Amino acid sequence: MNDDNFRVSALSPEMIKNLEAKRSWVYGHYIENGEELYQSLEGKLNLLNAIIENKWIDKSETLKLQCLGITFGDALIQHLEGLKWVEYFDEYGTDPALRFHETDFFIFPQTMISKRIEDGIEVNIYSLFEDSVKAILGHFESVYKPV
């Protein structure tokens, strides 16, 4: 596939509903005040860390692991100015992606955690977050600023 064979659009109502369901699954399942915690960057990361460290989701539960990825994407948006959720269409289907302004730079956080856990790789959510931020900042060194 040529790199130009993709299309991007604003989130459809269906995708917005899907992302919100994944967010609410994360903050509604493990900790009593999860929705409140979800409001802050630290709360999102701590919530993800608790779920991963306690192994509350089995590596075979891909959909649940992808819910964690949406929360991870929300944390990136909260920390880095200029990222937003979009729908990314290519020959493989449609996925939620993070886009930097109107560039062709996309991040697919929905699978960043699930792929690692499914492959048996131990995930340190704080290191993954820090490494992701550094990679993004490195790509857009002159224009990217943390919020």
pLDDT over 90 for what percent of the chain? 72
Angle 47-37-130 from CA coordinates, rounded to 5°: 50
- Judged by DSSP in three states, 7 sits in strand
Is the model's pLDDT at 145 over the cut of 80?
A: no
Task: Mark 39-60 as b/e (b = at least 16 C-beta within 10 Å).
Answer: eeeebbbebbeebbeeeebeee
What is residue 143's predicted lDDT score, i.e. its pLDDT?
Answer: 56
Q: Does residue 125 carry a pLDDT above 60?
A: yes
Average pLDDT of the segment spanning 51-79: 96
Q: What is the dihedral of CA 23, 43, 82, 12, to 10 degrees?
A: 10
